[in-house]
Structure 1
C-alpha cells in the first residue's frame, strides 16, 4: 500500500485592510484548510472567500478555533473559565459552519489555534472544555492535536476521532514538543531542509530535534503555517518532495472515510 499524507495550513486569517498569507496559492497545494473563525483573526467576508476557494479546490475545511485574542493573534496564554471556553468554541464552530454552508462546503474537523492548541495538548481542564464543546455540536467533527500529546488519549476516551499533527516549519525538542516561539530555532525557513525533514517523518516516523537527536513523531497530517515567511514555497517544496517519493497527498478525513 502506498503512503499517504495530509497537508494542512491555517487560512482565512486576513482582517480588514490587514492581509495575512496567500490563501489562493496555499489552497492549490494543501489538502486540508484550518479556517479562522474570527476570534484570533479573520473577518466574515474574508473567511467566506477562503471557504469558497477551498470548495473550488476540493480542500477539506476545519474550524481553527482560538482564544478570544485578536490583538495577540491567539498566541497569548489565557486562563479561561470552563463555561466561557466551551461556549466560545461552540460559537466559533457554529459561525464557520454557517459560512461554510453559504460557500457550498462543510466543516469536517476542529484544529485549535496557537496558545489554545498548545495549552490543551497538556492541560486536562481546558482540553475538557474543548472536548465538551465538540460533543455539544454533535461529536462528529475530528480533532487535530499535537502528535504524541496527552490530549490524544483524552479525546479518544471521549469518543472523538483524533488526527495527530506534525509541523513542517517548527522546531522540535527532544521530548517531541514544539520549541517555544520565544526561543531560537522555533520557526524554520529553508524550504529544502523542511521538505527533507517531512519526507523523513513520513518514511521513518522521526524528525531531528533542536539538540541534534532524533525523536519519534507519528503523524496523520503535516501543517505549514500560512503566515510564515515563504509559506507557499515551503508548502510546495514539501508537496513535491513527498510526491516524488511516491507519497499521495490526501486529506486525513478522506483516509478516515469520514
Structure 2
C-alpha cells in the first residue's frame, strides 16, 4: 500500500448553481483498490465523480490525486495525470468505427508509447470488439457501445479508472462480460472507483464500499462486510443505513 492514497477527497461540497448536492464528503482510494459507491439515485454519486474528474468545480473541500491538489485543474489536465472517467452514457463517435473510437483513448503520452500492447489487452478482454473493429459505433448494441467506452478508458492506461453506471440498462449476459473484463484488469493492479445500481456487480468487483445518502457518506465497509439483501433494499428505498460500519467512512481515516 502506498504512503499516500492514490485519491483523497476531504470535506467535498459541490453542486449545480446554488443547489448543493455534496455536503462534506470524505473518501480515500488506495492504489490497487477497487471501490464501490452505493446509494439511491440523485443522492450525489454522479456529482462526486464529475467533481473528481474536473467536470464540476467544487464549492469547498480538497481533492488530491497522486498527492497533488487537482481542485483547480481542468478535466484535460486531470485526464493527462491518469484519472480517466467513463461517465454515464459515454459520448462516443457514432460515425467512426469501433477501432477508431478505441484508439482515440490513447491520447495520454504514456498511453501512446504502449498503444500496441494495450490494444492487444483490450482485444483479449473484449473479443466482440475485435470482431466488429470495422463496424460503425452508431450501429452497435448498447452493451457493445459500453464495451467500446471501457476499452477507450483502458487504452489511456489510467492510474485510476472511474466508471459511472457501467451496467445501466444492460442484459445480464453483457453485465457478466463487463464484470469479467474489469476483474481481470483489476487483478493486474488497476485502481477502480465505480458507481452502479447493480449491487451484486459492485460487490463481486470491489474491495470496499461507501454509501452516499443525501450528499453525505453515511456508511462504509469491506467486501466481506456486505449488507444483507434486506439492508440493501432499505438503503435504496427506505433510507436505512447498513450496519457494516457504525460511523461514516470519512471519520475512519
Higher relative contact order (CA 8 A, sep 6+): 2
TM-score of the superposed pair, with normalisation by structure 1: 0.35
Q: Radius of gyration: which is bigger?
A: 2
* TM-score w.r.t. length of structure 2: 0.35
Report the structure, 1 or 2, having the larger strand content: 2
